[in-house]
C-alpha cells in the first residue's frame, strides 16, 4: 500500500512538473522580442519550425545530433574528457539500473526471455551500472573540489542533485548487501522453494539442510548465527542439493554482484546485528523513498536537462544554421531563449573559458561568470521579486561581458549564450537600469592627461613596473610579448574610422600594449580607444605574438570600472530606490 501511494504520488508530481516546464517554454519572456509575441503565436511557430525541420534535408543533421551530441556526448568529449567520462558513466550506469531494476517488471520480464534479476548477466550488469554511477559521482565531486572556479560555483542545486542520486545508489547497494548476508532471507527462500517446514535452527538434525547452509555460506555470502564447518563432503552434498532444489537456476553466485558482494563482505562481521535490526527493510524504505523523491524532484532540478538539452539540440538542427530550426522567426527566438534556460546543465564549462573570468577573482561578483548569469536571468524571467542591489549586481555582470562568443562555442547544450546576454541587457534596460561602464568611462575621460596628435611612450617596456601599478591576470600579462608591429592597430575597424586616429582616440591598440610596460595607468584609461573598442577580436586574432589584445583592453575597462564601483553604484530607477523591483 505504501509503495503504491508513494509511487503514484511521485509520478503525478513528475508529470505535472514536466508539463509545467514545457509550458514555460511558450510563456516565459526573455528579452524584448518575447514581449511582442503571444503564447499561441509561439506554439504555432514552434510547430511550423519543427515540421519544416522534419520534412527537409535537415532531418539528417537532427539524427546526427541525436547520436553524436545526445547519446555519445561528442561536444563534451571534445571539450573535456573527464567531464565526458563523468556524464557517460552516470548516464549509461543509470540506464542499466533503470531498465534492469527500476522497471524490470514492466520492461525486462515481458521483453527479455528468461530474465531473472538474480541471474547473470543481469545480476552482474546491475552491479556494473551501480559501479558506473558511483564512479561518475566520484569524478563529479572530485572536479568540484579540485577546480577552484567550479568549487566556488557549487550551489544547493548541484548538491541536491548529486546527493539524491548518491543516496539512491548507495542505499540500493546496502539493500542488496543486507539481503546477501541475511540468514532470514535464506530461511524464507528455503521454506518457499525447498521444504515448507524447514527451520535453520534444526540444521544439526537435518544433514541436507546443514549441507545447503554450508554451500550458501561459502558461495553466496550468507552469514548464519553460528559459522558452519565447510568440510569437503558437506560442500559437495550442498552443491548437489543446490541443483536438486533448483537454487542454481534462480541464483548466480553472489560474487557476480561484485559491488554488493564486496559490501556484504565488509559488513559480514556485524551481519547478524544488521539482520536482527531489520537492515534490509530499513534500506528498502530509504531506497524507495529516495527514488520517488528523485522522480518527483526531477522536473524542478538540474536533471531536467535530460529532456531540455536534447530538445534544444534537436530543435536547432545545425546549431541554428538550418532554415528549419527554431531560430529564424521572432516567435521561435522567444521560444528558443526560454528553452535554453532549462537546457543549461550548470556544468560551468562556459565559465572556465570565459575571457573575463579572471575579473571574477577580483570583483567576486558571480554574475560575471556565464553559468551564474543563467541563474540570474532565470530568476529575472520568473518575475521573482529581486532587491535593487541584486539587480545592480546582475547589471554589472551582464555588461562586463566582452561578447567574445567563447561561452557559446564551448556550450555542450548548444545554447546561444551570447544572445541570452543581450536579452539580459534588454531586460535590465526595460526595467530602467543603466549600463555601469558609463560612469567609469566618464570619470576616466575627465582626467586631465596631456595629449598630443602622436602620443609618445618610453622604450623599451618593463612589465615589472606595470604589475606594480595594476593587478593583471595571466591572460593580460601577454602584453609583454608585443614587439610593436602595429598589426592590431592596422586591422582595427575603430581606428579605420578616423583620418587622424591618434588625435581622436589617444593611445592606439599597439601603443596601449607598449604603454602597459611603464604603468601609464591614467594615460591608458583616458584613451578613447579603450572605451570605443567594439570587442570584435580582429586585433587578437591577427596578432603574430598571440597577445590577448581584446581581452586586455576589456580587462583595463574593468579596472577603470573598479575605481568607481565602490565609490558610487550605478543609479537605480527612482521607483526602485525604496522598494524591491520585480
> pLDDT digits over 308-354, tens only?
888 877 766 544 434 344 446 888 888 888 888 888 877 778 888 88
Torsion sign over Cα 276, 281, 287, 290: negative
Give the per-residue pLDDT at 473.
58
Give the per-residue pLDDT at 209.
79
408-432 pLDDT, tens digit per residue, is 888 888 888 888 888 888 888 887 7
Contact, 256 vs 124, CB < 8 A?
yes
**SS3 at position 581:** strand
Q: List 581's β-bridge partners, or say none.
A: 386
Contact, 408 vs 361, CB < 8 A?
no
The set of cell numbers assigned to 270 is 556485524
59-104 pLDDT, tens digit per residue, is 777 777 778 877 888 878 877 788 889 889 988 998 899 888 888 7
* 3-state SS, one letter per residue, for 472-491: CCCCHHHHHHCCCCCHHHHH
Helix boundaries (H) for 55-155: 58-65, 74-79, 81-97, 109-111, 122-146, 148-152
249-288 pLDDT, tens digit per residue, is 888 888 899 999 999 999 999 999 989 999 999 999 999 9
What band does 404 get if pLDDT is binned at 50, 70 and 90?
confident
Give the per-residue pLDDT at 383.
67
Residue 555: closest CA among 440, 442, 464, 410:
440
Give the per-residue pLDDT at 321.
39
Half-sphere exposure of residue 559: CA atoms within 13 angstroms, side-chain side = 19
Question: Which residues contact residue 279 at a Cβ distance below 8 angstroms, ignoring those fewer than 6 apart?
Answer: 174, 178
Question: 148-156: long-range contacts (C-beta < 8 A, 24 or more apart)?
Answer: 149/348, 149/351, 149/352, 149/357, 149/360, 149/369, 150/348, 150/352, 152/366, 153/346, 153/348, 153/351, 153/366, 153/369, 153/371, 153/372
Integer Cα distance of 3 and 38 in angstroms: 43
Q: Which string of DSSP letters, residue by residue, matches 28-76?
A: ---SHHHHT--HHHHHHHHHHHHHHHHTSTHHHHHHHHIIIIIIS-HHH
Q: Which fold has domain 444-565?
A: Fumarate Reductase Iron-sulfur Protein; Chain B, domain 2 (1.10.1060)
Integer Cα distance of 414 and 320 in angstroms: 9
Domain ranges of the chain: 182-263, 363-433, 444-565
Q: Which string of DSSP letters, residue by residue, matches 364-389?
A: --GGGSHHHHHHHHHHHHTT--B-HH
Question: Which residues contact residue 105 at a Cβ distance below 8 angstroms, ignoring those fewer than 6 apart?
Answer: none
Q: Residue 575, class by beta-carbon neighbours within 10 Å (0-12 exposed, 13-18 middle, 19+ buried)?
A: exposed
Question: Mean pLDDT, to the nearest integer, of 152-181?
Answer: 84
Contact, 418 vs 468, CB < 8 A?
no
Integer Cα distance of 101 and 404 in angstroms: 46
What band does 439 get if pLDDT is binned at 50, 70 and 90?
low
Q: Which helix (H) or strand (E) holds 175?
A: helix 156-181
Give the per-residue pLDDT at 566.
56
Among the residue ranges 124-128, 372-376, 382-386, 454-458, the one predicted with the least confidence is 454-458
What band does 128 get if pLDDT is binned at 50, 70 and 90?
very high
Give the per-residue pLDDT at 194.
63
Q: Which string of DSSP letters, residue by residue, matches 339-368?
A: HHHHH-----HHHHH-TTHHHHHHH--GGG
Give the per-residue pLDDT at 170.
93
Give the per-residue pLDDT at 180.
92
Q: Which helix (H) or strand (E) holds 295?
A: helix 279-297
Residue 194 CB coordination number (10 Å): 17
Give the per-residue pLDDT at 461.
43
Contact, 315 vs 50, CB < 8 A?
yes
**SS3 at position 60:** helix
Give the per-residue pLDDT at 20.
92
Contact, 581 vs 520, CB < 8 A?
no
Integer Cα distance of 415 and 134 in angstroms: 29
Integer Cα distance of 140 and 303 in angstroms: 14
508-566 pLDDT, tens digit per residue, is 888 888 788 777 777 888 888 888 888 888 898 888 888 888 888 888 887 777 766 65
Residue 435: closest CA among 556, 580, 564:
564
Question: Which residues contact residue 108 at a Cβ distance below 8 angstroms, ignoring those fewer than 6 apart?
Answer: 99, 100, 115, 117, 122
What band does 459 get if pLDDT is binned at 50, 70 and 90?
very low
φ, ψ of residue 115 to 5 degrees: the values are -70, 130
How does DSSP classify residue 457? Answer: -
Residue 471 clears pLDDT 80, i.e. is over it: no
The set of cell numbers assigned to 38 is 503571444
Amino acid at each position: 500500500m505504501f509503495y503504491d501511494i508513494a509511487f503514484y504520488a511521485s509520478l503525478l508530481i513528475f508529470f505535472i512538473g514536466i508539463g509545467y516546464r514545457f509550458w514555460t517554454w511558450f510563456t516565459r519572456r526573455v528579452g524584448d522580442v518575447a514581449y511582442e509575441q503571444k503564447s499561441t503565436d509561439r506554439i504555432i511557430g514552434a510547430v511550423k519550425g519543427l515540421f519544416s525541420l522534419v520534412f527537409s534535408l535537415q532531418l539528417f543533421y537532427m539524427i546526427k545530433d541525436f547520436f553524436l551530441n545526445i547519446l555519445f556526448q561528442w561536444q563534451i568529449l571534445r571539450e573535456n574528457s573527464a567531464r565526458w567520462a563523468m556524464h557517460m558513466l552516470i548516464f549509461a550506469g543509470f540506464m542499466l539500473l533503470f531498465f534492469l531494476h527500476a522497471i524490470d517488471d514492466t520492461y525486462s520480464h515481458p521483453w527479455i526471455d528468461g530474465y531473472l534479476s538474480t541471474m547473470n548477466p543481469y545480476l552482474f550488469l546491475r552491479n556494473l551500472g551501480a559501479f558506473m554511477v558511483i564512479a561518475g559521482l566520484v569524478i563529479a565531486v572530485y572536479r568540484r573540489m579540485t577546480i577552484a572556479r567550479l568549487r566556488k560555483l557549487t550551489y544547493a542545486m548541484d548538491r541536491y542533485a548529486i546527493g539524491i542520486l548518491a543516496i539512491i545508489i548507495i542505499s540500493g547497494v546496502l539493500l542488496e548487501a543486507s539481503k546477501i548476508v541475511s540468514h532470514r532471507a535464506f530461511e524464507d527462500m528455503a521454506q518457499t522453494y525447498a521444504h515448507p517446514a524447514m527451520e535453520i535452527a534444526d540444521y544439526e538434525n537435518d544433514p541436507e539442510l546443514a549441507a545447503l547452509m554450508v554451500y550458501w555460506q561459502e558461495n553466496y555470502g550468507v552469514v548464519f548465527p553460528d559459522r558452519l564447518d565447510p568440510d569437503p563432503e558437506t560442500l559437495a552434498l550442498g552443491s548437489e542439493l543446490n541443483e536438486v532444489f533448483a537454487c542454481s537456476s534462480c541464483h548466480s553466485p553472489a560474487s557476480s554482484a561484485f559491488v554488493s558482494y564486496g559490501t556484504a563482505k565488509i559488513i559480514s562481521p556485524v551481519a547478524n546485528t544488521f539482520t536482527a535490526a531489520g537492515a534490509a527493510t530499513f534500506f528498502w524504505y530509504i531506497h524507495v523513498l529516495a527514488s520517488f523523491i528523485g522522480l518527483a524532484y526531477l522536473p524542478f532540478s538540474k536533471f531536467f536537462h535530460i529532456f531540455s538539452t536534447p530538445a534544444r539540440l534537436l530543435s536547432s538542427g545545425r546549431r541554428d544554421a538550418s532554415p528549419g530550426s527554431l531560430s529564424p522567426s521572432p516567435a521561435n527566438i522567444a521560444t528558443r531563449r526560454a528553452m535554453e534556460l532549462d537546457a543549461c546543465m550548470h556544468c560551468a564549462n562556459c565559465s572556465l573559458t570565459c575571457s573575463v573570468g579572471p575579473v571574477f577573482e577580483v570583483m567576486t561578483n558571480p554574475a560575471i561568470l556565464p553559468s551564474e548569469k543563467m541563474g540570474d536571468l532565470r530568476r529575472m524571467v520568473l518575475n521573482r521579486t529581486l532587491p535593487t542591489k541584486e539587480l545592480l549586481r546582475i547589471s554589472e555582470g551582464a555588461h562586463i561581458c566582452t561578447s567574445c562568443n567563447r561561452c557559446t562555442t564551448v556550450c555542450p547544450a548548444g545554447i546561444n549564450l551570447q544572445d541570452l546576454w543581450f536579452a539580459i541587457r534588454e531586460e535590465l534596460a526595460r526595467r530602467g537600469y543603466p549600463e555601469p561602464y558609463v560612469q567609469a568611462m566618464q570619470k576616466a575621460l575627465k582626467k586631465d592627461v596631456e595629449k598630443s596628435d602622436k602620443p609618445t611612450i618610453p622604450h623599451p617596456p618593463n612589465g615589472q613596473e606595470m604589475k606594480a601599478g595594476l593587478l593583471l591576470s595571466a591572460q593580460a600579462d601577454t602584453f609583454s610579448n608585443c614587439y610593436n608591429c602595429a598589426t592590431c592597430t592596422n586591422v582595427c575597424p575603430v581606428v579605420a574610422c578616423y583620418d587622424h586616429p591618434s588625435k581622436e582616440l589617444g593611445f592606439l591598440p599597439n601603443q596601449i600594449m607598449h604603454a602597459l610596460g611603464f604603468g601609464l595607468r591614467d594615460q591608458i584609461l583616458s584613451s578613447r580607444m579603450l572605451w570605443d573598442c567594439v570587442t570584435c577580436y580582429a586585433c587578437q586574432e591577427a596578432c603574430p605574438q598571440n597577445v590577448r589584445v581584446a581581452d586586455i583592453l576589456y580587462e583595463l575597462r574593468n579596472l577603470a570600472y573598479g575605481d568607481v564601483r565602490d565609490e558610487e553604484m550605478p543609479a537605480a530607477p527612482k521607483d526602485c530606490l525604496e522598494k524591491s523591483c520585480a
